[in-house]
Amino acid sequence: RSSQQGTDSGDGSPSSAAAETPSSEDFSLSLLDTNLPAEAETELRSFIAKRLTKGALFEGMGNVASVGLSIPEYKVGCYYCRFQQENLLEMATLESDINAPEYVICFLGGSEKEDTFRLELDKYIQSLKINLDLEQKTLETCVNPYLGSWFENAICPIQRVVQLFQDKLASLLHAALSYTPVEVKNADERTEKDISRFLAAASLQGLVQEGTMTSLCIAMTEEQHKSMIIDCSGPQPQLHNAGSNRFCEDWMHAFVNGAEGGNPFLVRQILENFKLKAIQDINNLKRFIRQAEMNHYALFKCYMFLKNCGSGDILLKIVKVEHAEMPEARNVVTVLEEFMRE
């Protein structure tokens, strides 16, 4: 047990606890804040203490697990993350004898599907580390409101965008897949952030080669006349220079239907399935192109695939960028472009 007192921060739905020296069993957990009932808070603290004892919590990296609480008498999904404040972390690095308090933040939801939002919640905690002072004097004014709004700010933006755009969502999906630049005008700060986060979440960043994304971004940015403009001055956004295709329109219906139930986790799962299907189509096309380098029938299969997949315009751009340095594949792509234009 360190000579300093440990603290713990959480907000029931957020609930949180702070631990010093989590690498050893000799630590204390004390409650900083919660909106959980006392009995459930004790059970949650016990769960976190076991994880700390096992050394299963790494600084700044959130985890999602199912936790059994007597209230509301069923298992809930729990996101939990251990961290130190940025300034204390630097001090502790400079002076190893300083035992700075560490914190565990917990957010509770209806299921383990918080896992689909783990990266967003990690960023949410990172922002807390950088911008907020966890001293007691700022707890009520800064920390409590921040923790209490985790669901609205980290989980709901994607659903809000679907509800705002409705049938115009297809153009937003198209812009995200093709890395078309998007300008948002006359929107309040929250709406602008929501749209930006939706575009980032719906893009294939991290799922296709980094060089491909960079080249696509450069190519689309150079076509400035194709930038999509979203005007939010009216009750529903007005789009200019918007593109779309059958693939995005089909998925738009799935998003709109999913959002009607009011479950943001379902909407996020639909988004992940949308990206998975796009990646599968890209991989299939690349496989056909490899075959078409030596087989004219495979070239015809490429063409039929592009015609029928509903997203041929975007897939052609992606494979064109990826195969730019491969002469034989580039020739196949050139022929496909000519066929598609005709």
Q: Within a domain: residue 298? A: yes
In a domain, 275, yes or no: yes
Average pLDDT (311-321) is 87
Mean pLDDT to the nearest integer, 17-43:
72
Regarding whether 189 and 74 lie in a shared domain, the answer is no
- HEC string of 145-187 equals HHHHCHHHHHHCHHHHHHHHHHHHHHHHHHHHHHCCCEEEECC
Residues 203 and 117 in one domain: no
User: What range defines the domain where residue 219 resides?
Assistant: 163-341
pLDDT for the residue 6 = 35
What spatial distance separates the first Cα and last Cα of the chain, rounded to whole Å? 75
**Do residues 168 and 314 share a domain?**
yes
- Backbone torsions φ then ψ of 188, nearest 5 degrees: -75, 165
Residues 130 and 167 occupy one common structural domain: no
The answer to whether residue 26 is domain-embedded is: no
Sign of CA dihedral 125, 128, 130, 133: negative
- Report the C-alpha gap between 286 and 316 in whole angstroms: 10
When mean pLDDT is compared across 9-23, 39-53, 119-133, 244-258, the lowest value belongs to 9-23
Model confidence at 73: pLDDT above 70:
no
Assigned domain for 225 exists: yes
Tell me the pLDDT band of 77, cut-offs 50, 70 and 90.
confident
Q: What are phi and psi of 288, to 5 degrees?
A: -65, -40
| pLDDT bucket at 86, cuts 50 / 70 / 90 | low
In the three-class reduction of DSSP (H, G, I as helix; E, B as strand; rest coil), residue 333 is classed as helix
Q: pTM for the complete prediction?
A: 0.81
Pair (171, 311) in one structural domain: yes
Q: Are residues 177 and 235 in the same domain?
A: yes
Among 53, 29, 52, CA closest to 41 = 29
Asked if 130 and 243 sit in the same domain, the reply is no
The confidence score (pLDDT) of residue 12 equals 43
Strand pairing class (228-231; 182-185): parallel
Q: Do both 168 and 311 map to the same domain?
A: yes
CA 142, CA 131: separation in Å to the nearest integer?
10
Long-range CB contact pairs, 134-137, < 8 A, 24+ = 134/7, 134/9, 134/32, 134/85, 134/103
pLDDT value of position 187: 94
pLDDT at 16 over 80: no
For residue 62, is it within any domain?
Answer: yes
Instruction: Indicate whether 15 belongs to any domain.
Output: no
The residue assigned the tokens 């064109």 is: 320
Q: Quick one: 326 and 212 in the same domain?
A: yes
On whether residue 92 sits in a domain, the answer given is: no
- Same domain assignment for residues 112 and 186: no
Q: Is pLDDT at 338 greater than 50 in this prediction?
A: yes
Give, in degrees to the nearest 5, the angle at Cα 78 between 69 and 83. Answer: 125
116 with 193, same domain? no
- Rounded to 5 degrees, φ, ψ at 229 are -110, 130
Residues 6+ apart with CB under 8 A from 215: 321, 324
Residue 9 placed within a domain: no
Q: Which segments of 211-288 are extended strands (E)?
A: 228-231, 238-240
Number of domains present in the structure of the chain: 2
Does one domain contain both 48 and 175? no
Q: What is the pLDDT of residue 305?
A: 92
pLDDT at 160 over 90: yes
